[in-house]
Amino acid sequence: MTAYATPAAKAPFEKTTIQRREVGPKDVLIDIAFAGICHSDIHTAREEWGDAMFPLVPGHEIAGVVSEVGSAVRRYAVGDRVGVGCMVDACRTCDNCRAGLEQYCLEGNVGTYNDTGKDGLPTAGGYSSQIVVDEDFVLRIPDALGLDVAAPLLCAGITMFSPLNHWKAGPGRRVAIVGMGGLGHMGVKLAHAMGAEVTVLSQTLSKQADGLAFGADAYYATSDPATFKRLRGHFDLIVNTVSATLPMAKYLGLLRLDGTMVSVGAPAEPMEVPTFALMNQRRSWAGSGIGGIAETQQMLDFCAEHGLGAEIETIGGDDIDAAWDRVVASDVRYRFVIDTSTF
Ligand code: NAP
Ligand code: ZN
């Protein structure tokens, strides 16, 4: 199978051939059409989160079409439009797995890349032409969604949907999305569709028109100190998608009584939180990781019902290095998606 792999931390991508396991009884072979580029791909491959396994084929926002199924596969047939997100397996028996929270599997789920599968082989992600996945970790992409705009939903979409759901974004609730990149722009669309009052907090106003078009009610620049004065004590929920550390006290000050700030952005460095910023107004600081398989399907169906896809810039396999640099520079509108037909 053709793939794009990075041979070492910070090394350019190379076109290569990889081996995957034979299609087992419960497996689905997927011809990948599109793979989104998530900032996590970059953190991982550049070893910002620790050692990585090389050669590395990243990609956990996968959309394609089933081309073969194992003898015991019940849910999918050849020709079905499907997706794969950040995990390809889990223990399936722990309390969390049984509650549909496979992302919090107590044994640790199996990552779509940079991990070892239960077959003993290194996992390889979506920057490739095909993938073999157990049907239990495959999602159905509704017909209403194009495969290209659906691919980013498998990580960016679910990573925003899950906390918005859990902390009850909806009518009468004031929600802020910090950082309007891949995750953030989906957060704006989803929170708006859920009926919440949505505010974007971005470094500058350069993407304001887009934010309002995605459904934001307000849009402020965090580079302007007046923003933090104006919005003090305003929000019920802040979802922070920023890939770098933030001055937490300033952001926590934007929460009203019982408000929660949820970190989904995953900077390598720790962030300092002054206790007083939490004690005042009984505020909480929480984290959230992707979403379970059932919730991911729920998110895809919600997006189809509300006509929500990602805003994408489609690129070829040879453009990955340049796209990564643009993501790091916050120059992404709003998700790069690799078209595997260019392989
Ligand atoms: P992205 O497209 O690069 O978006 C991040 C946005 O954060 C940027 O577009 C920018 O928005 C803002 N930003 C970047 N650097 C900043 C800085 N120094 N100060 C303030 N704002 C800054 O990345 P992404 O793919 O959405 O991922 C975002 C983060 O979430 C990454 O750390 C990723 O690893 C993590 N993530 C976590 C999960 C999870 O399960 N929790 C899942 C996927 C990704 P503005 O230009 O609007 O300010
Ligand atoms: Zn991701």
**From ligand 2's centre to the CA of 59, what distance in Å?**
8
pTM for this entry: 0.98
d(CA 6, CA 59): 12
Whether 264 is in the pocket of ligand 1, judged by its Cβ within 6 Å, is yes
Task: Give the closest ligand to the alpha carbon of residue 125.
Answer: 2
- Checking 270-275 for CB contacts under 8 A at 24+ apart, the result is 270/245, 271/245, 271/246, 272/248, 273/248, 273/249, 274/248, 274/249
Distance CA 56, CA 71 (A): 30
Specify the ligand 1 atom closest to the Cα of 266: 32
- Atom of ligand 1 minimally distant from the CA of 334: 2
Measuring CA to CA, which residue among 163, 168, 331 is closest to residue 236?
A: 168
User: 225: burial class by Cβ within 10 Å (0-12, 13-18, 19+)?
Assistant: exposed
**Ligand 2 centroid distance, CA of 50 (Å):** 16
Beta-bridge mates of residue 339: 34
Q: How far is the CA of 180 from the centre of ligand 1 (A)?
A: 8
Q: What is the pLDDT of residues 265-274, one digit of tens each?
A: 999 999 999 9
Which ligand is closest in space to the CA of residue 335? 1
Burial 297-307 (b: 16+ CB within 10 A, else e): bbbbbbbbeee
Among the bound ligands, name the one nearest to the CA of residue 35.
2
Q: pLDDT of the chain along its 343 residues, tens only?
A: 999 999 999 999 999 999 999 999 999 999 999 999 999 999 999 999 999 999 999 999 999 999 999 999 999 999 999 999 999 999 999 999 999 999 999 999 999 999 999 999 999 999 999 999 999 999 999 999 999 999 999 999 999 999 999 999 999 999 999 999 999 999 999 999 999 999 999 999 999 999 999 999 999 999 999 999 999 999 999 999 999 999 999 999 999 999 999 999 999 999 999 999 999 999 999 999 999 999 999 999 999 999 999 999 999 999 999 999 999 999 999 999 999 999 9
Q: Are 288 and 162 in contact (CB under 8 A)?
A: yes
Distance, CA 177 to ligand 1 centroid (Å)?
A: 11
